[in-house]
Amino acid sequence: MTRVPATKRTQKSLENLDESFIHHLNHTLAEDSASATTLAKYFALSYAIRDLIADRWLHTKSIIFNRRDLRIVNYLSMEFLIGRLLYNNVLNLKIEKHVEELLEKYGLRLEDLIPLEEDAALGNGGLGRLAACFLDSLATLGYLSYGYTIRYQYGLFKQLIENGYQKEEPDDWQKNGYPWEFPKPEEAVVVKFFGRSEVYTDENGWLKFRWVDTYNVIAVPYDIYITGYNSEIVSVLRLWQPKAISEFNFAEFEKGNYEKAVAEKNFAEKICKVLYPNDAFYQGRELRLMQEHFFVSAALQDIVRRHKKRYGTLDNLYEGEVIQLNDTHPALAIPELMRILLDEEGYGWEKAWEIVSKTIAYTNHTVMPEALEKWEAPLLQHMLPRHYQIIEEINARFLKDVAEKFPGNLQKIVNMSIFEEGHIKKVRMANLCSVASFSINGVSQLHTEILKQSVLKDFYEMYPEKFNNKTNGVTQRRWLLESNPPLARLITEAIGDRWITDLYELRKLEMFLDDTSFLERLGAVKRWNKERLAKYISEKLGITLDVDSMFDIQVKRIHEYKRQLLNILHVIHLYNEIRDGKLPEVPRTFIFAGKSAPGYRMAKLIIKLINSVAKVVNEDPVVSKYIRVVFVPNYNVSLAQIIIPAANVSEQISTAGTEASGTGNMKFMLNGALTIGTLDGANIEMLEEVGAENIFIFGLKADEIEEAKRKGKYNPFGIYMDNVKIRRILDMIRTGYFNPDEPELFVDIFENLLYGKYAPMPDQYFVLADFESYAETHKKIEKLYQNPVEWNKKSLLNIARSGKFSSDRTIEEYIADIWKSKKVYE
């Protein structure tokens, strides 16, 4: 296929962008330019840009239905944390100059319109942001792809901090409307729930099953076209919204049953009311299972319909489509596809199973037991009786294979069975995925090794060929080009702009390692970003920051395993040192941000502790000269784009063996922060890339933690008794030093560390074990910061060697090893 350069396609329509803007303002919004609000102008501009994107979609669509040699990637994910789209689209379409000129005529600047867009926060954290980066990379690289998820009415809650406590508010992200989506009601499908599985004999005398007496809901797709940089190909993010088949039942209304008259509508509306706000934690709620089935069933019907349209048969579904499961949340894709093939398309079990197991691949995102999905069998059986029956059959056939492969080994059967027996029988979704998928991947080298050696060990022995690693990545379009304009400019001036689509190009920056003027300019860029953040914090929180101080930043979901507690304990240690007259050599600002799950007691208490320490530190006239602590509320993608570029130091301090990969770590590295981190997740690969002199590694290693746990030999109480510094810090927490009004408030943190009051063991995340090593490493960082040339050199090296951590690299690996798709244009 001959290629029309993407710029040409844009150029033609660009000539009309001014007209288009006015057209949308006058006719789509019925406003005139004199009296229209800035918000209306934001919408008009977005609609004008959306028109350019719609052209790309029509082009992409024609390829989808004309090129049967291209396999389509389907990324099924409960979360897509896409953030704002206006500036992202402007950059990807390369129309920034044009848009600026257009807006100038109306006395507007792009930077005034950008913040008017609500973040689409359809995700919790890393897992959802990964899915968003993947669609960006797929479109940029020119692969055909669909992301499937739910159109949540309320995205992840908005976080307020009141009196140091997290407070949640609903995120009604569509309250002003949303310009980037296209409803496609003609492509709606029906999703079924409940009912029962009925056996019957078909016209050929075969025994068949059908799912009957179901409760049905319509699923309506809303499409967001995700642009790629300088690419004509868009990815489709398809959000499914439930709708009642009959919104109003007149018969019931006539009988005086108003509740019954609107029951269907209420049912449909509640399914996708809200995103579950847990990150890396499983909560077995009926409504959550409904959400999972709802979007998976809609997606599968969509994929099947498209494949039939392209090929006229499902025999070769796996040649035209591949389905990647982002964690086990969409695992019901397995029985749902089996059901469609068996019950609706007339396939026999063997062929149906072949199709399913050649189409579906699984990404594991965590090894922490509390995050593994295990649905209660009776719940699943009640909501999805036919799926349950299919899972039973999958399991029966699988266990026969296990018994053949490991004769007489009952333990293997117990470990690998999809069902966990017990008082209440459970369905282990990771086992279901491992049985049915042709590929099982972890998201960093360490994580994949841990999967093979512990969590999925038996599956690895059974199917070693299925296992592979795909280290996560982030898109440099959003996390450098968009979020850090002065750094992007500096880099492009130095080495050209090819890094935007080939991040390994950044290696060329090593030429400037001894160029003091370049290092100074790099320092000036960091300063600009720190000033931008300081301005934001000053405006939002009324706190003044010293931009000469070292910005030491930990932003991510608040979770015990991520150890914000270790960070704040260390801050208390510095506070004590200063009070003792041991003054630090460089002033430091410790910045925190992140949301806790609303029901996660410990995490919420840690937020309160951070804010309590912040108050004491910042209000102390002596201490606040040397250290300051800020908790920035409502961490989300837009805020990350302001915070991350301002970091001198990136805190990646999870207990070794707990963070599957991390992607925040990569964003910081790309923006020139130096990392203090454990040998966990992708930190290990960052160390490999950047070299030990350019990253600050501390703490126990994953195998050491593992061993200490296994042998039960970890004794945090001993550390408390032996280590004066630690005892002093913990006693301050226990006795209410930071919270004199309510001195008992943090006793639970103390008791959890020393006695494991709310955990399987004392200090289960080894905070005290790693404290000394962490504090010593911070001293080294402090030393280095006093030498700006050396610091900036290491900062430059971090940027120059971050090429591996582009999601473009990750996607090319998925393509080569799992998806085997081809680019539209070779």
Ligand X SMILES: *Cc1c(COP(=O)(O)O)cnc(C)c1O
The residues that touch ligand X, with contacts defined as CB under 6 A, are 125-126, 129, 556-557, 635-637, 640, 662-664, 667
Active-site residue (options: 557, 778, 804, 809): 557
Our CB check for ligand X shows the closer of 612 and 661 to be 661
Min dist. Cβ of residue 668 to ligand X (A):
8
| Token pair 């029906």 in the structure block, residue | 190
Determine whether 801 is an active site residue: no
Three-state SS for 134-152 is HHHHHHHHCCCEEEEEECC
Q: Cβ-closest residue to ligand X?
A: 664
Question: Least distance in Å: CB of 36 to ligand X?
Answer: 32
Burial 547-576 (b: 16+ CB within 10 A, else e): bebbbbbbbbbbbbbbbbbbbbbbbbbbbe
Chain centre to alpha carbon of residue 755: 33
Q: Of these residues, 426, 530, 595, 667, which one is catalytic?
A: 667
Q: List the catalytic residue out of 129, 238, 530, 562.
A: 562
332 SS3 class: coil
What residues form DSSP beta bridges with 241? 220
Paired tokens of 760: 């399987």
**What is the 8-class DSSP label of residue 274?**
B
590 to each of 183, 608, 611, 779, how far by Cα in Å?
44, 15, 12, 15
Q: CA-to-CA distance for 644 and 629, rounded, in angstroms?
A: 16
Nearer to ligand X (CB atom), residue 521 or residue 559: 559
Minimal distance, residue 479 CB to ligand X, in Å: 8
Q: Return d(Cα 609, Cα 597) in angstroms, integer.
A: 16
Residues 6+ apart with CB under 8 A from 409: none
Query: Which residues have CB under 8 Å from 296's CB, separation 6+?
Result: 76, 148, 330, 332, 333, 336
3-state secondary structure of 677: strand
Annotate 601-623 with b (16+ C-beta within 10 A) or e (fewer). ebbbbbbbbbbbbbebbeeeeeb
> Cβ 411 to ligand X, closest distance in Å?
35
Residue type at position 535:
K
Smaller CB separation from ligand X, 247 or 370: 370
Closer residue to ligand X in complex, CB, 373/651: 651
232 or 659: whose CB is closer to ligand X? 659
Closest approach, Cβ 562 to ligand X, in A, equals 7
Quote the least distance from Cβ 636 to ligand X, whole Å: 5
Q: Which is nearer to ligand X, 394 or 503 (CB)?
A: 503
Active-site residue (options: 149, 227, 663, 675): 663
* CB contact set of 476 (below 8 Å; sequence gap of 6+): 499, 500, 503, 670, 806, 808
Beta-bridge mates of residue 215: 193
Which CB atom, from 559 or from 734, has the smaller least distance to ligand X? 559
Distance in Å, CB of 84 to ligand X, minimum: 12
Chain CA centroid to CA 476, Å: 16
What DSSP line would sit under 390-424, residue for residue? HHHHHHHHHHHHHHHHSTT-HHHHHHH-SEEPSSS
Q: SS3 of 443, please?
A: coil
Nearest to 367, CA basis, from 469, 288, 442, 420: 442
Give catalytic status of residue 365 as yes or no: yes
Supply the minimum distance, in Å, between the C-beta of residue 667 and ligand X: 6
Q: Which is nearer to ligand X, 389 or 802 (CB)?
A: 802
> Has 475 been annotated as catalytic?
no
Strand-pairing partners, residue 200, are: 208
∠ CA 595-600-606, nearest 5°, is: 65
562 is catalytic: yes
Active site residue 557: yes
**Which of 619, 629, 625, 622 shows the shortest CA–CA distance to 572?**
629
**Nearest distance, CB of residue 314 and ligand X, angstroms:** 37
Kind plus residue range of the DSSP H or E element containing 113 = helix 110-113
Cβ-based nearer residue to ligand X, 386 or 562: 562
Query: Please, which residues have CB within 8 angstroms of residue 172's CB and are 6 or more apart in sequence?
Result: 153, 154
Nearest CB to ligand X, comparing residues 362 and 668: 668
Alpha-carbon distance of 376 to 427, in angstroms, equals 6
Q: Is-catalytic flag, 663?
A: yes
Whether the Cβ atoms of residue 168 and residue 158 lie closer than 8 Å to each other? yes
For the purposes of burial, counting CB atoms within 10 Å of the CB of 3, is it exposed (0-12), middle (13-18) or buried (19 or more)?
exposed
CB of 328 to ligand X, least distance (A): 19
Q: Specify whether the CB–CB gap between 784 and 490 falls below 8 A.
A: no
Query: Is the Cβ–Cβ distance between 665 and 686 less than 8 Å?
Result: yes
Residue 660 CB, nearest approach to ligand X (Å): 9
> Per the residue annotation, which of 365, 412, 447, 793 is the catalytic one?
365
- Cα distance between residue 292 and residue 149, in whole Å: 9
In terms of CB distance, is 360 or 637 closer to ligand X?
637
Alpha carbon distance 135, 123 (integer Å): 15
Q: Which two tokens stand for residue 167?
A: 């407070």
Shortest distance in whole angstroms from residue 596 CB to ligand X: 13
Residue with smaller CB distance to ligand X, 126 or 330: 126
Contacts with 186 (C-beta within 8 Å, 6 or more apart), sequence order: none
What is the rounded CA–CA span in Å between residue 714 and residue 224? 50
- Out of 556, 563, 570, 573, which one is annotated catalytic? 556
Distance of CA 702 to the CA centre of its chain: 23
Q: What tokens were used for 291?
A: 């959400």
CB of 241 vs ligand X, minimal distance in Å: 24
Q: Which alpha helices (H) appear in 166-285, and where do they start and end?
A: 250-254, 258-261, 263-271
Give 356 or 443: the residue with its C-beta nearer to ligand X.
443
| Catalytic site positions | 365, 556-557, 562, 663, 667
